[in-house]
Amino acid sequence: MCSAHRTLVLALILAISFNLAGCVASDSTTGAFTSAPALSSFDGTYRNIGEASNGKTRQPQLSQLIWPEDANLQHGEVSSVEVKALSTQRLKVSAFGKNGDTMKAGEYERGKDFFLVGDRLRIAYRIGSAGFKSGEPIIGTTSNLVEFGLDTAGQGKARQTSSATGLAFGLIPMHVEAASDIRYVKLR
C-alpha cells in the first residue's frame, strides 16, 4: 500500500472515531415532573428509601442526596424526610429516625443553598475533573446535578444526572451522560 493510501485509511479511521465519540449513554427512568409553582408545593414528609420505576428499592436515600457530606448522619437510620416551606425563600428540612426522633434539621435559603429551576429544586451541582486517578479512562471534566421535584402522582422524585467530557485514553473526544430518577413516596 502506498503512503497516500495509508494516509487516507488513517484519516478515515480517525474520522470514524471522532464521529462515534459524541455518544450519550442514559439509564434514565425519566418521566414527567408535575408543576410546582411555589416552594410550598414541596411541603410533605417523604420516605427516605427511594424506589425505581419497577417498584424495587433504590439508592441513594433521600437524606444522602440532601446531606451527602454529613459523616455524622446515619442515613440508614433515617426513615423519613420532612420538607416545609417557611416562606417564599426559605425551606426547613428535617430527617426523622424510626422512632420519630429528629436526627437532623436545617433551614435553607433559596439562591444560596438551593435554586428553584422550573418545577424542581436544584439541591446540588458539582463540577470536578477526571483522569487523575489510576484506571480512569477519560481525562476531562465531570459534573453531577441533583434535582428534586414532584412526579405526576404528587410523589417526591429526584433526578440525578452525571456526565464526563474529555479525551478517552488521551486521544478520542468523548461525552458520556447518565441520568436516573428515583421516586420517594410522600407519606403525608
In a domain, 46, yes or no: yes
In a domain, 93, yes or no: no
In a domain, 18, yes or no: no
Whether omega for the bond prior to residue 60 falls within 30 degrees of 0, making it cis, is: yes
Q: What is the pLDDT of residue 24?
A: 45
SS3 call for 174 = strand
Amino acid (1-letter code) at residue 126 = R
Handedness of CA 65, 76, 47, 51 (dihedral sign): positive
In a domain, 157, yes or no: yes
In a domain, 76, yes or no: no
Q: How many CA atoms are closer than 13 Å to the CA of 130, on its beta-carbon side? A: 24
In a domain, 166, yes or no: yes
Total number of domains in the chain: 1
Three cell numbers written together for 26: 442514559
**Longest C-alpha distance within the chain, in Å?**
79
In a domain, 150, yes or no: yes
The tens digit of pLDDT for each residue in 24-63 reads: 444 444 567 888 888 999 999 999 999 876 666 677 899 9
Task: Print the domain residue range for 157.
Answer: 25-71+114-184
The tens digit of pLDDT for each residue in 52-91 reads: 766 666 778 999 999 988 989 999 999 999 999 999 999 9
In a domain, 1, yes or no: no
